[in-house]
Structure 1
Amino acid sequence: MADKTLNQAIESADTERLQKIVKDLCQRSSDSKEFVEKELLTDETEPADSKETSKDSNGVPQQGKKRARYAICLRCREEYDVSKNLKDSCLRHEGELEQDSEFWVDHDEDCHGPIDEDEMKVEYPEGFRWDCCEEHADSKGCETGYHEEDTSHWPKGAKRYRWSYGP
């Protein structure tokens, strides 16, 4: 019963609180720190299928340099393991989303609001098509490549939105 309750508490906890707890665990226990390092850090500095090794400014191969194991891809917006980033790991669209005029034929923007909004693309993916492949907005990508790390959220990182029900 305690495991179930603990799992529920972890799943409902705020991201900042969880980050603080993990940091505290790492300070209190070397075993915990070692476990977290193993899970969240990697020595990999190049794509997993690359023949090259990373070199410093003097051309000397870098060895043992640690970095975050997981990143968010700038293109597909998915989390990926940087040590397993292969040339076909990222499945994405390189085009733009366009409105499918047949889908929106009865939509009145004065009454129902604007169509070309992010919320509408999520709620009505069938109302938008990728110009690169003509598939709906929620379709899997039509092109592959390496994941490209999105560093725009550094140093804060992604935070969970806190819902507020009161004034």
Structure 2
Amino acid sequence: MDIVASLPESHLRAILVALCHDPRTHDRVIHMASKLAAAPSASNGSDQAICVQCNRAFSVLTRAGNSCRYHPGTRWADPSNEAWDDHYVNTDGPMETEENMEEWPDAFVWDCCQELGSARGCS
């Protein structure tokens, strides 16, 4: 990460634009940019970062040392949840997709703590 942190902004921008040719990466970049734009900033925005665990924007100047709570496990679809009553894997595709996890977080369960997908981090 030291080499990335030391690159000039113009190089970082060029790399980011190149990486965004991948649709999945593009979507993640847009999502992160939206989070940073909406987050309050204590200065000119250079104090903002995104947590790699919870994917939330925060200020490096004002955060508490252990403020992030996350799940060390994986979210799995709960087949008994009513969200899946009309879902057929053969025609609708797999249940464990990023889109489904965002749209129906409580139709998933964390394997680390058995809590619903929207539950606050257990670690």
Normalised by the size of structure 2, how large is the TM-score? 0.56
User: Partner of 2:96 in structure 1?
Assistant: 116
- Indicate if the aligned counterparts of 1:73 and 1:79 stay in contact, CA closer than 8 A: yes
Q: Which runs of 5+ in 1 are unaligned?
A: 1-14, 16-37, 42-67, 144-167
Amino acid at match of 2:55: R
Q: Which has the bigger relative contact order, CA under 8 A and spacing at least 6?
A: 1
Separation of aligned partners in 2, 1:141 and 1:72: 16
- Indicate if the aligned counterparts of 1:100 and 1:127 stay in contact, CA closer than 8 A: yes
Q: Which runs of 5+ in 2 are unaligned?
A: 1-29, 31-41
Question: SS of 2:69's equivalent?
Answer: strand
Separation of aligned partners in 2, 1:112 and 1:85: 41
In the alignment, structure 1 residue 132 sits paired with structure 2 residue 112: yes
Question: SS of 2:43's equivalent?
Answer: helix
Question: SS of 1:84's equivalent?
Answer: coil
1:43-102 CA-partner distances (Å, limit 9, x unpaired): xxxxxxxxxxxxxxxxxxxxxxxxx21101111111111012323211211111112121
- The percentage of counterpart residues that share the same residue type is 32
Question: Of Structure 1 and Structure 2, which has the larger fraction of its residues in helix?
Answer: 2
Counterpart among 39, 42, 66 of residue 43 in structure 2: 39
* CA-based RMSD: 2.2
User: Partner of 1:90 in structure 2?
Assistant: 68
Q: Number of residue pairs matched?
A: 81
User: Partner of 2:4 in structure 1?
Assistant: none
Amino acid at match of 2:73: G
User: Partner of 2:9 in structure 1?
Assistant: none
1:51-130 correspondence to structure 2 within 5 Å: 68-103=46-81, 104=84, 107-130=87-110
Whichever of the two has the greater Rg, that structure is 1
Normalised by the size of structure 1, how large is the TM-score? 0.43
Amino acid at match of 1:110: N
